[in-house]
């Protein structure tokens, strides 16, 4: 049985399988509408979510399965002090697969050690968010047509943004990836990523503080929200929250074929006027997330795509 805790839990071959199945589902969703009949997905969300939880649930419903779960720690026995390992032991007998989001890094991994059903990490603290990464890769595959030789600018909260950490880990496996990391000093990517992932693999990257000057070099601009919930004090958050605001004036520096991605939710970091720019694809990205989650659920449940 396979769990997906980090994007690296999927080999390149498995990743290709997920992305190509997602593409087939995207092109012909009706064909897959009964694939998971009789199967149940549990969504165990100890932290707020809109897209991730609802797209997981929509994915399972689109496959003809059912969903159960909770959307906050307060409404589960976590509020009474139950551990994730006890919760997952019990949920394993109620559902066939589970997606877990937790504020503590490593919680879905701990759950996987005690689970008899596949556990998918739906975001653990500032650590990883593999299904957002699958969504991001699928968006690039559909809209750019390839995942190699891309220069990606990550902008905003690169310290706490788990979507950034996961996507960097995934993209270094594609040839020709280059990274431009745009953040204030306090929100630089964690040292382990810089040293053990980027430098150790000789991946070209640079760190800058001004967005406009690097815009013309980018194939992809990946904007992120400053992660308020991970700050230790509000003063720092207030000082840093509007470090970067992408607006129509800044988009003028970008290439015609640059794409703007954002995992959402957006706060102030992208002005609403950018939404009408055809290069702004974050709402399409959110939509595509359902198809990769459908593909991932099918593959983890060993359901044949040829049904
Ligand atoms: C992201 C997350 O939860 O990490 N959202 C999402 O899952 N689409 C990004 C964020 O909250 O800023």
271, two tokens: 């002005």
Whether ligand 1 lies within 6 angstroms of the CB of 132 is answered as: yes
Closest C-alpha among 297, 306, 244, 224 to residue 39: 297
Q: What's the pLDDT tens digit per position in 275-305?
A: 999 999 999 999 999 999 999 999 999 998 7
Q: Given a cut of 70, is residue 265 above it in pLDDT?
A: yes
266-276, pLDDT tens digit by residue? 999 999 999 99
User: pTM higher than 0.85 for the full model?
Assistant: yes
pLDDT for position 305: 75
Catalytic choice (39, 101, 165, 225): 101
Ligand 1 centroid from CA 160, angstroms: 11
Say if residues 277 and 238 touch (Cβ distance below 8 Å).
no
Measured from the CB, is residue 225 less than 6 Å from ligand 1? yes
Residue among 43, 52, 87, 224 flagged as catalytic = 52
Contact between residue 225 and residue 157 where contact means Cβ atoms under 8 Å apart: yes
Task: State the pLDDT at residue 304.
Answer: 85
- What is the number of residues in the chain? 307
Mean pLDDT of 196-218: 97
Atom of ligand 1 nearest to the CA of 52: 7
Beta bridge partners of 128: 124
Q: What is the mean pLDDT of residues 186-214?
A: 96
Measure CA 300 to chain center.
18
Q: What pLDDT was estimated at residue 1?
A: 79
Three-state secondary structure readout of 156-185? CCCCCCHHHHHHHHHHCCCCCCEEEEECCH
How far is Cα of residue 267 from the mean position of the Cα atoms in its chain?
17
The pLDDT, as a whole number, for residue 306 is 65
Is the beta carbon of 129 within 6 A of some atom in ligand 1? Answer: yes
At residue 177, the pLDDT reads: 98
Nearest CA to ligand 1 atom 6: 263
For 4-31, the pLDDT digits (tens) are 999 999 999 999 999 999 999 999 999 9
Q: What is the pLDDT confidence band of residue 106, given thresholds at 50, 70 and 90?
A: very high
Site to probe by mutation for ligand 1, drawn from 130, 160, 224, 264 as the one with most ligand atoms within 8 Å of Cβ, is 264
């Amino acid at each position: 049985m396979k769990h997906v805790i980090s994007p690296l839990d999927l080999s390149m071959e498995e990743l290709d399988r997920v992305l190509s199945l997602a593409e087939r589902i995207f092109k012909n969703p009706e064909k897959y509408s009964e694939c998971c009949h009789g199967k149940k997905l549990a969504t165990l969300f100890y932290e707020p979510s809109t897209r991730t939880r609802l797209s997981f649930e929509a994915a399972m419903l689109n496959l003809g399965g059912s969903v159960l779960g909770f959307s906050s720690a307060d409404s589960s026995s976590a509020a009474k002090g139950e551990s994730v390992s006890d919760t997952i032991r019990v949920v394993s007998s109620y559902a066939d697969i589970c997606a877990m989001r937790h504020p503590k890094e490593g919680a879905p991994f701990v759950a996987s050690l005690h689970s008899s059903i596949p556990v998918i990490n739906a975001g653990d603290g500032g650590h990883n968010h593999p299904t957002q990464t699958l969504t991001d890769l699928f968006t690039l595959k559909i809209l750019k047509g390839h995942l190699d030789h891309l220069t990606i600018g990550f902008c905003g909260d690169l310290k706490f943004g788990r979507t950034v950490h996961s996507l960097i880990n995934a993209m270094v496996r594609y040839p020709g990836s280059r990274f431009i990391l745009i953040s204030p000093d306090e929100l630089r990517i964690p040292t382990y990523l810089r040293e053990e992932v980027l430098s150790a693999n000789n991946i070209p990257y640079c760190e800058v503080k001004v967005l406009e000057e690097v815009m013309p070099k980018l194939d992809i601009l990946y904007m992120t929200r400053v992660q308020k919930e991970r700050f230790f004090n509000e003063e720092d958050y207030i000082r840093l929250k509007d470090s970067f605001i992408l607006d129509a004036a800044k988009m003028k520096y970008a290439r015609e074929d640059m794409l703007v991605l954002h995992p959402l939710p957006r706060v102030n970091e992208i002005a609403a006027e950018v939404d009408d720019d055809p290069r702004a694809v974050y709402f399409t990205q959110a939509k595509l997330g359902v198809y990769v989650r459908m593909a991932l659920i099918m593959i983890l449940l060993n359901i044949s795509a040829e049904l």
